[in-house]
Structure 1
């Protein structure tokens, strides 16, 4: 496996912390673990209630809302999570993170997981103070001082809005095709080796979604739901706002037109809890807010896309982590897509990816009724096809069997009505829920699938021949080409990597002409980069990952490349779990520039920015600059947004 973890005795761990001895290490040595990835149920019954009461926090000193750890709290915390959380992280399997990976996260990110994220249902019986104690004791690095969004407000008024000659990057991709190619970013290939850090910004609570850039402004959102606008050249703050939940996807910026003809530049943000909000791009004033769903078993993980006056929002099912509870009626949550009126916030339509209705299936061994079809999350940004009047999404695994044809598929919706036009399945019979690869439970499918999601968006590409195709890679390591003119028929498929529980091809691709560039996450032993000719599926070149050299040491250090790439003419940028951002020559795969982002530096907003592993998001390129989030990968967490320019100018 790519993650490397040292085995230490309790005596070795004591004294290894940043304050001379490590409370977190003592807890790890005692054998506790916290489930953030979802693989096992908490204990039931009076024993849990008694443990919760025994571990209640009574007036500890606080640091930004979290308890300041001491020996007494360490014992209380150990009892708390030992009785309420599973032990699956001691011997993790599938996508479940190891204890070392949990220790690399910030307390804010752990708290978000317990309150609004993957562990919200499992932590429902805990008080807020107990959740904060769990979040405070797991991180192995000393917390940074909470950054302020208003510490560096711009001193001069913003110039009049004007389109930049050096392009913009307005969403998860630079355009509606999800090719992540910037043809006019003001950055020549010959200048890339001269890129230097210009400024860094510290996200409150940790890295959020990919920032977007337009008209000299940068817009971002944090893991705490902070929304902000910065000057793209200097990093000073123009305005701040807030949404209720964590923002994982990119915001999107664009112009909408009201019925009377008036046009407005708007920023749209979707949080994980289903809240979608629109803000005036120049002032930050909220124009509307809509709750897309209220079920705790659904989430927004991907990025919304604006087309015309409609905002298209992907919806993920979020029920897998509940399946290990034998009495849980698994499963009812479904992936989907919604269209929202971008002017008013009215929901125009919201559709599941399934054409079949939800129905009872079997009664499990614990006597709980099961349902299906369910699952098939839409994890990524939709792809817009104005020529065909369609919007495409890719889906993940099914939860229940028989697995519907909507799972692990590319699905075409009608842009106007939301009706499904066709569905093309890449991998059938992929029914999977958490915990089954570890110890089968009552809600496990009889035949467990490989969890081979199509987790990246389909990139819409016009080949040199004039033929349009859609291309997407899977967690199983296979790239597929689909025919949008023949109900998504698979034209070819190419395996780039072996299947891996963490995902081999995960978040995205970059396409220049008819060549696609794929970062590879985990494959003998780790990742790499590959270029594929989209006309044939032939591999043009392949480069192994650079040896993992992590500034934080060997623990949870990996060279896997999960972060989606971005491209300019002649260059492809891609990030790694070891904290490095690298630029590859598009023609050969040779590395022409790299920068280790896993460092702590002074940020423009009056705090320290700590970089780390790179995962979702990728790079934003506009105005001659490259903007990169660092600290959202499988490894060391962080809170850094770093901005690079030629010679740091």
Structure 2
């Protein structure tokens, strides 16, 4: 039946199997996982040990308190592998888990979404959606429905909201009907609204000389958590129109591009949602690419925009000589790929902080429509350099991982791959810790901090493209601990698994556990397909 079913989606295959067998598809039949015999523990969103969504909070702080974890600088060397899950037919592990009261919610490249016991890895439930789920699942409580809900962003730009206890689908919706629209950033829920960022793969499609570039434009949408009703949908530029013909004789459409790759952050006091945008795909460029954008939470109106790099047009295939038909005048590709963070400092100053692939970090004043408070360079940056996937902060200090593996924007600055601690009151760099060198010429191995980081009271956890996970002292940057994830693993689901580059996702710390995704083959890095679950041995 393989040939007959080749054109079916995963959802259709499961529906057909359930019809033929007269039974519901079980998790162990889908992914080789054991079905949990115990009931799922009660979900409680107020527990200190939770890690919910991408940033573990509305501000994308990526911080876990001492009340939320027993793991600290004195015992991190006592972590042991509790279990490992392999991702089938994958060269990248890029779906960050969520943990609510020892239940792990996690997507996968195959479109399977799991609710699992953190201690054993058994599955409470498993569902399948048509495409990859690379965004972190967000769990929210609906008072109206009296249910805990799991909000899932599927890669083809559909949102699924399911009962977090059972996996039952309650509603789903397509966000943007552009064929190149994608969901890569995690949805965020606040006061009954689901805020959904929209990114795009047209940057790759436009790398083909025959592609009519370009029609996608970055956008954000909000939905009612209880019903799925669309509350607003805001495109950050005008609809593209034909503005000319390129050297291949194909039409050129503009403005376009400026995808929103990452989870938004919430400013409840000002009723704003903040997001960062990517570069334009065609010219004329817009004034909202490579920008920090503040959206009104109720209407979706863009209240203010701060553009960090103007006239930045870039698609795959761009070359410095401008020979590609879709890229005659390439920009530096310095988008904001990392989530925006926001907080109130100890001096009372409210601040919005953005890091760019140009290796610059900006402190903006939300009370003054994004006026610049400070601007700090932390490397030379580039298309795969600078700040890539995510910063973290605690108190007045923002911790900034820098890749600097490419030098498109080399302005005479030295490469600074590693970790930077910045005082958010002043923009001053408090310390810089170079990424430890562990590659020794191994193919595909790179010493760079591209992945998002995670902070506790006395640890900064940073994953390197070398496959090593490092722990630094947050006060000094000193190296405290390391673990090489590049090895083969026995798995609980029988899928052969190995580790690789640490990129795209960061460590999740909850109670006695730490979860690490290892492997990321994109951009010439080391492949891998393992989810590592460590437990404190004490």
Give the TM-score normalised by the residue count of structure 1: 0.74
2:105 equivalent to 1:219: yes
Q: Secondary structure at the match of 2:448?
A: coil
Q: Deviations over 1:565-597 (max 9, x none)?
A: 011111111111111111111011112121111
Which residue of 127, 135, 141 maps to 1:241? 127
Partners of 2:44 and 2:215 lie apart in 1 by: 47
Q: Indicate conservation of the 8 Å contact 2:209/2:326, yes or no.
A: no
Aligned counterpart, 1:536: 426
Please report how far the alpha carbon of residue 288 of structure 1 lies from its aligned counterpart in structure 2 after TM superposition: 1.5
**Equivalent of residue 509 in structure 1, options 375, 382, 391:** 391
Is 1:592 paired with 2:480?
Answer: yes
1:374 aligns to what? 256
Match of 2:40 among 151, 155, 158: 158
Task: Map 1:73-472; keep pairs closer than 5 Å.
Answer: 149-162=31-44, 165-183=47-65, 184-187=67-70, 188-206=72-90, 207-258=93-144, 262-354=145-237, 356-437=238-319, 440-441=322-323, 443-472=325-354
| Compared CA separation, residues 163 and 401, structure 1 to 2 (3 A) | closer
Q: Distance in 1 between matches of 2:483 and 2:235?
A: 42
TM-superposition CA deviations, 1:622-647 (whole Å, max 9, x none): 12311111113652222211112222
Instruction: Please report the TM-score for the alignment, with normalisation by the length of structure 2.
Output: 0.88
Partner of 1:321, secondary structure, is helix
- Runs ≥4 residues deviating over 6 A: none
Q: Distance in 2 between matches of 1:489 and 1:345?
A: 35
- Taking a change above 3 Å as real, the CA distance of residues 150 and 309 of structure 1, as seen in their structure-2 partners, is farther
Shift of 1:331: 1.4
C-alpha change, 1:221 and 1:205, in structure 2 (3 Å) is: farther
2-structure distance, mates of 1:193, 1:442: 51
Give the match for residue 449 of structure 2: 561
**Pair 1:364–1:609, CA change in 2 (3 A):** closer
Greater share of residues in helix: 1
- How much does 1:459 deviate? 0.4
- Secondary structure of 2:74's aligned partner: helix
Report SS of the residue matched to 2:403. Answer: strand
Q: Check the 8 A contact 2:96/2:106 in 1, yes or no.
A: yes
The 8 Å contact of residues 319 and 331 in structure 1, kept in 2 or not, is answered as yes
What pairs with 1:30-69 in structure 2 (closer than 5 Å)? none
Distance 1:193 1:294, change over 3 A: same
Separation of aligned partners in 2, 1:412 and 1:271: 25
Structure-2 change in CA distance of 1:161 and 1:624 (3 Å): same
1:317 and 1:472 map into 2 onto residues whose CA distance is 21
> CA 1:630–1:148 in 2, change beyond 3 Å: closer, same or farther?
farther
Q: Which residue matches 2:14?
A: none
Partner of 1:105: none
TM superposition shift of 1:517: 0.8
Counterpart of 1:44 in structure 2 is none
For residue 498 of structure 2, what is the aligned residue in structure 1?
Answer: 610
What runs of 5+ residues in structure 2 fail to find an aligned partner?
11-27, 406-413
Question: Residues 305 and 205 of structure 1: is their aligned pair in 2 closer, same or farther, counting only changes over 3 Å?
Answer: farther
* Aligned mates of 1:163, 1:402 — CA distance in 2: 46
The 1:338–1:397 alpha-carbon spacing in structure 2 relative to 1, beyond 3 Å, is: same
**Structure 1 unaligned blocks of 5 or more:** 1-58, 67-114, 117-145
